[in-house]
Amino acid sequence: MKNALRTIEDLPDEGIILSDGTRLSVRIWRPLDAMDDPVPAILEYLPYRKRDGTCARDALTHPYMARHGYACVRVDIRGNGDSEGVMEDEYSPRELADGVEVVNWLAAQPWCSGSVGMMGISWGGFNGLQIAALAPEPLKAIITLCSTVDRYADDIHYKGGCLLNENMGWGATMWAYSSRPPDPALRPDDWREMWLERLRAEPFLPDIWLRHQTRDAYWRHGSVCEDYAAIKAKVLAIGGWGDAYKNAVPQIVANIPGSKGIVGPWVHKYPHFAAPEPRIGFLQEALRWWDRWLKGVPTGVEDDPDYSVYLMDGVRPKSWYTERPGRWITAEAEAPVSHGLHLGDGTLGAPAAFERLVASPQDTGAAGGEYCAIWLGPEMPGDQRGDDARSACWDSAPLSADMDIAGAPVVTLTLTSDRPQAQIAVRLNHVHPDGASTRITWGVLNLSHRDGHDRPAPLTPGQAVTIRLALDHIAYRVPKGHRLRVALSNAYWPMIWPAPQAGRLVVTEGRLDLPCHDGAGPARVFPPPDAAEPWQIETLRPDAHVRRTEIDQVTGRVSLVIEDDFGKRRDLDHGLIAGAVAREVWSIHPDDPLSAEGRCHWTEEVERDGMALRTETRCRMWSDETTFFLSATLEAYENDALIFEKRHETDIPRTHL
């Protein structure tokens, strides 16, 4: 029998006073009778502003859980939203120590039963794992979504030792996000002083991140793969095949006893409102998790499959899908390779002698999509034929039966380089009978990192090396009669920053090993999505998302132009108006890696009672053969009057990158 739903209250701005006197702003949804009948607390701990940033998803999620007998707690981390203090970095020791204090504070409240869980996606998924590794006693369980166990190898900074352009792109986002003011209605006496303190201290994070180009102590901090055994809380990990952080789920399941994993077809969103569909009843699954580990109710979660994944049917390439056909299967988190294909003379199958040149134009990679699809625009990898034409490709014969891939394909290559610094991008594609090419999965490797991300070494030109590259995990069905393709390029722009020189690779041996699923095991069945009432808003400007490629016919430069207008809206509960526009341009000349340039410009708006507050943040990145250059500006306006500005400029040596 289901428990009766409880009447709840919404407390929009409670305060947690930390040991150093800093006040964190907290929104709490809890049962009205929690003082008489205490409940477990579920913490979501983020920099993304509970007042005007995460309202849409908070409205769907936290009241639902509160009505089922939990206190749901949304905390703005130090220096963000309506919390005091200043921002230092992502996942800083101070942030994590504050989080431990918050967990212990929650457990001590008279309305809390003493048991605490943490739930979060992306930043909140990261720090949920990291705080769990610090093992505060009240923290009994977590649900981590779209997160990582390795901050260097599987975040937005570096991939395969290559510099992701998302390092600056997301840094530009945080430059804008964290420099916004608190809501003047909540801090009528000191909001302006609090804002100016925040602006003065605001770090330009790409500068910090780019100073750590190898997997050093900076990245080991917060990487829970350093010591999985430190995590005592029960972990449910969730990801999406359209998201950047899919690899963490099988790693968690394989390394943290008692953990469970679910990966669907989704981008970087909670699964009860994610795209592409099908969505699942995430809140019902979360409730089963919390009931078992925070209340001791026997919900049977221990008996769920360890690792459930959505096997996507192979479909034609598109830059956006609203739905992906397929089916749920039970897979192995550490799936062994079971099907091997050799690279031959343009073929993928039986071994054969060959020698293939890889010398790609610098704009190869234009069909790669966003590193982390999140804004629900045209962000997914499109038809790969253009990039395939700029790559060395090996095609299989038409498949004699459907092939179900479930796991991380592995590519092994023997190659030589004519330069001491080089990189390689590997795409596994699904080639349709008419030649259309869908990217199944991919990986990149900085060849100086071939022996480890903590000990880079230059290549010896002309000397053969053998590399092994595990591609991203995936679950994908290639239909009978279609082909597999391995495509190799030594550029992948604008996903990764180019090598300092346009070099040439020669591949002489190669093998593709595939983890194929045999269809055995029970299919997972999830309930349909459920949620609380949506956020009530007045739309003042609708969202709009643009992705376009421009070619300068005079200079030959190729540019990807991204324009994300996130709209403008008024919260119908408390009246705050918020809006934002982001613009990025990534440009390069096909013949010149040193022509690479990225530019970002964000406008953030907050309006309250006739007062208009705005920040304009801009940044730029470029390089020569030895040095990266960064430039950034931050301007703050009150009623269109400039009240603050600062500039940040730096140059950083390239280290095997």
Residues 44-88: tens digit of each pLDDT: 999 999 999 999 999 999 999 999 999 999 999 999 999 999 999
Q: Encoding tokens for residue 252?
A: 């968690």
Alpha-carbon span 554 to 364, nearest angstrom: 20
Say how far apart CA 145 and CA 286 lie, in whole Å.
11
First-residue to last-residue Cα distance in the chain: 60
At residue 494, the pLDDT reads 98
Task: Kindly report, residue by residue over 157-193, the tens digit of the pLDDT.
Answer: 999 999 999 999 999 999 999 999 999 999 999 999 9
114 and 224 co-located in one domain: yes
Of the given ranges (102-106, 307-311, 333-337, 474-478), which has the lowest mean pLDDT?
333-337
- One domain for residues 156 and 301: yes
Number of domains in the chain: 3
* Percent of the chain topping pLDDT 70: 100
Q: Take residue 63 and report the two structure tokens written for it.
A: 């009241």
Distance from C-alpha of 95 to C-alpha of 97, rounded to nearest angstrom = 6
The CATH number linked to 478 is: 2.60.120.260
**Does 348 have pLDDT greater than 50?**
yes
pLDDT category at 590 given cuts 50, 70, 90 is very high
Q: Answer whether residue 646 shows pLDDT above 50.
A: yes
Q: What is the DSSP letter of 378?
A: S
Torsion of Cα atoms, 634 then 637 then 642 then 647, to 10°: 0
The DSSP annotation for 172-223 comes to: HHHHHHTTSPPPTTT-TTTHHHHHHHHHHH---HHHHHHT--SS-HHHHTT-
pLDDT of res. 113: 98
What the block records as the tokens of 117 is 């869980």
Same domain, 478 and 509: yes
pTM: 0.97
Residue 11 has pLDDT above 90, yes or no: yes
My answer on whether 154 and 177 are in the same domain is no
Nearest to 42 by CA among 286, 208, 285, 322: 286
CB 130 within 8 A of CB 103: no
Local confidence band at 3 (pLDDT 50, 70, 90 cut-offs): low
Co-location of 421 and 282 in the same domain: no
Residue 109 has pLDDT above 60, yes or no: yes
- 2 lies in some domain: no
The verdict on 123 and 18 lying in the same domain is yes
Token pair for residue 236?
A: 């449910």
Nearest partner of 44 among 56, 31, 26, 60, judged by Cα = 26
Q: Over the chain, what is the mean pLDDT?
A: 97
* Confidence band for 468, pLDDT divided at 50, 70 and 90: very high
Please indicate, yes or no, if residue 532 is contained in any of the structural domains.
Answer: no
pLDDT digit string, tens, across residues 553-572:
999 999 999 999 999 999 99
What is the torsional sign of CA 340, 341, 343, 345? positive
d(CA 133, CA 131): 5
- Pair 137, 273 in one domain: yes
Residue 354 in contact with residue 346, Cβ under 8 Å? yes
DSSP codes joined into one string, 438-499: EEEEEEEEEGGGTT-TTS-----TT--EEEEEEPPPEEEEEPTT-EEEEEEES--TTTBPPP
Per-residue confidence (pLDDT) for residue 586, from 0 to 100: 98
The pLDDT assigned to 254 comes to 98
Nearest alpha carbon to residue 501 among 578, 409, 592: 592
Q: Is residue 526 part of a domain?
A: no
Residue 609: both structure tokens together: 């009672």
Question: Which of 444, 479, 514 corresponds to the end of one domain?
Answer: 514
Query: Which pLDDT tens digit goes with each residue over 601-610?
Result: 999 999 999 9
CATH code of 114's domain: 3.40.50.1820
**What's the token pair of residue 70?**
């939990």
Q: Say what the pLDDT of residue 1 is.
A: 37
Query: pLDDT tens for residues 275-313?
Result: 999 999 999 999 999 999 999 999 999 999 999 999 999
Residue ranges making up the domain that contains 106: 8-161+214-328
Tell me, rounded to whole angstroms, the distance of Cα 308 from its chain centroid: 20
The rounded distance, in Å, linking the Cα atoms of 612 and 614 is: 7
Which residue has tokens 């983890």? Answer: 515
DSSP label at residue 138 = T
How many CB atoms lie under 10 A from the CB of residue 302? 11
**Whether residue 282 is found in the same domain as residue 367:** no
Q: Is the domain of 305 the same as that of 206?
A: no
- Give the domain-ending residue among 301, 328, 355: 328
Q: Are residues 131 and 234 in the same domain?
A: yes
Q: How far apart are CA 38 and CA 31, in angstroms?
A: 9
At 130-155, the pLDDT tens digits run: 999 999 999 999 999 999 999 999 99
pLDDT tens-digit map of 217-242 = 999 999 999 999 999 999 999 999 99
Residue 1 lies in a domain: no
Residue 525 included in any domain: no
**Cα separation of 116 and 130, whole Å?**
15
Decide if pLDDT at 104 tops 90: yes
In this structure, are residues 358 and 504 in contact, taking their beta carbons and an 8 Å threshold? yes
CB 170 within 8 A of CB 222: no
Q: What's the rounded mean pLDDT across residues 326-330?
A: 96
> Measured between alpha carbons, how far is residue 275 from residues 269, 381, 399, 407, 527 in Å?
7, 15, 30, 22, 17
> Does the residue 520 lie in any domain?
no
Q: Kindly state whether residues 111 and 132 are assigned to the same domain.
A: yes
**Does the residue 530 lie in any domain?**
no
Judge whether 105 lies within some domain: yes
Residue in 107, 36, 31, 106 with CA at minimum distance from that of residue 70: 31
Residue at which a domain ends, from 302, 328, 354: 328
Round to whole Å and give the CA distance between 174 and 176: 5
How far from 494 is each of 83, 248, 524, CA to CA, in Å?
Answer: 36, 24, 37
Shared domain for 458 and 346, answered yes or no, is yes
